[in-house]
Structures are given as C-alpha cells and as structure tokens.
A and B are shown apart, each in its own frame.
Chain A
Amino acid sequence: DAKTTQPPSMDCAEGRAANLPCNHSTISGNEYVYWYRQIHSQGPQYIIHGLKNNETNEMASLIITEDRKSSTLILPHATLRDTAVYYCIVHSNDYKLSFGAGTTVTVRA
C-alpha cells in the first residue's frame, strides 16, 4: 500500500470547519483513500473513503485532487467530540491496513 504523510497535529475551534490534509503521492490506480479516526484508547472508526471523486457523508467530506496525489478531509462543524487522532490510509482491501502516525486534532471550545 502507498504511504501517506499527514501533519502531526492541528487545532480547531468548535463550530468551525476542520480541514485535514494528506499526501499520498505514490498511490496506485486501484487504491482508495480511506480516513479513520481513533478517540483515545478506543478502536479506530471509519469515516469516509473515495477513489477519484469527492465524497460526502453524514460525518465528513473528502476532497481528492485530480492527480490523486493528495486529499483533504473536511469536518464541516467540529465539535469537542471530534477530538481524536485522524488516520489517512491508502489501501485496496479491508484486511491489512498500514497506519501511520496520523494527525492529532484538538477541538477547542
């Protein structure tokens, strides 16, 4: 699976949008971009995934650049409960995920 690069941490004000970047310059054609998050000491939780097109669900939006070498996860209205480590993972299956260090997002009141 392709490697990803994320900033180690970022702060966000409650109620504002949080934009989390991810670089995946070596992504191959059959690999999807997935985002998971892990709230302290719990199991990772799936957020969203996409291949080429932008995606939106009830939790977040995913913007993937046209060359697919980077993406941005958008949390439209961050709440304190969104404080977590966010992982951007590129993979082509659901059973062998390579987690990096992720981005620690702290939402402040």
Chain B
Amino acid sequence: KAGVTQTPRYLIKTRGQQVTLSCSPISGHRSVSWYQQTPGQGLQFLFEYFSETQRNKGNFPGRFSGRQFSNSRSEMNVSTLELGDSALYLCASGPGQGNTEAFFGQGTRLTVV
C-alpha cells in the first residue's frame, strides 16, 4: 500500500510570492491534516480536511489556506510569502473517524528568500 506522498520535496520561493503544496493520502483515507515544522515553534497544526470540508483549523493567518478534492488529495496554499514561512510542511492522512494512528508524508521543505 502506497504511503502518503507530498510534492514537491523541496521548494525555493521569493518573498511576496505564493506557493501551492500537494499531498496524496493513503488510499481509502478521507482525512488530510497539514502541519508546519520550524526550529523555533516545533510541529504546529495548520488545518484538517475531511471529505472535501475543512473540519479543523489551527492558529495561522488567512494567508494559509487549503482544499481537498473528491479523491481526497489535498493542496495547501500560502500567499504573500514571508521569510518566516520557511519551514518543513508535513501532511498526514487517516480515516478521520476515531482513534487510529496518523500517517505522515516526508514533507515539503520550503525556503523563502
């Protein structure tokens, strides 16, 4: 069974630009969550989508947004990039309906210059 796939693995963007990251969950999983990891703040929850609807949201500005498609694939978008947005962005998938483990992708390393 294929794992969670995130693309691209690495990305370099300039301040002010926008970026779109992609996450393909494990087949059959309907929940996709996104996390930001920085050295200073650790792993922080961004938002979660379940059956194409945003179900949970973390404490991030509106520049961070996402969506989920009917095949459960998810994208997150960051607009007007700032230097502080440089981070490892991780997505995790799961059934989304109870107590089970989350399966993480390898992440996208975003560098804003």
Q: Which of B31, B56, B96, B106 contacts A42 (CB 8 A)?
A: B106
When C-beta atoms are compared, the residue in chain A nearest to B30 turns out to be: A95
Looking at chain B, what size class is its interface with the partner chain? Answer: 20 to 34
Q: Are A45 and B104 in contact (CB under 8 A)?
A: yes
- Which residues of chain B have a CB within 8 Å of any CB of chain A? 4, 31, 33, 35, 42-45, 48, 50, 55-56, 88, 90, 92, 94-96, 98-107, 109
| Closest residue on chain A to residue B94 by CB atoms | A94
A44 touching B104, Cβ below 8 Å: yes
- Of residues B43, B55, B88, which shows the largest number of chain A Cβ atoms within 10 Å of its Cβ? B43
Q: In residues 42-57 of chain A, which contact B (Cβ within 8 Å)?
A: 42-46, 49
A63-101 vs B, Cβ < 8 Å mask (1 yes, 0 no): 000000000000000000000000100011111111111
Interface size class of chain A, counting residues whose CB lies under 8 Å from the partner chain:
20 to 34
Q: Which residue of B lies closest to A34 (CB)?
A: B101
Chain A residues contacting B98 (CB-CB under 8 Å) are 93-94
Binding site for B on A (CB under 8 A): 32, 34, 41-46, 49, 87, 91-102
Hey, which chain A residues are within 8 Å of B90, CB to CB? 43-44
- CB neighbours of B94 from chain A (8 A): 94-95
- The main secondary structure of chain A at its interface with chain B is loop
Once the chains bind, are A94 and B96 in contact (CB under 8 Å)?
yes
Known contacts A41-B109, A43-B4, A100-B42: does B104 contact A95 (CB below 8 Å)?
Answer: no
Q: How far is the CA of A91 from the CA of B32 in the complex (A)?
A: 16
- Kindly list chain B residues whose C-beta atoms are within 8 Å of the C-beta of A45: 104
Contacts A43-B90, A44-B90 known; A97 to B107 CB distance under 8 Å?
no
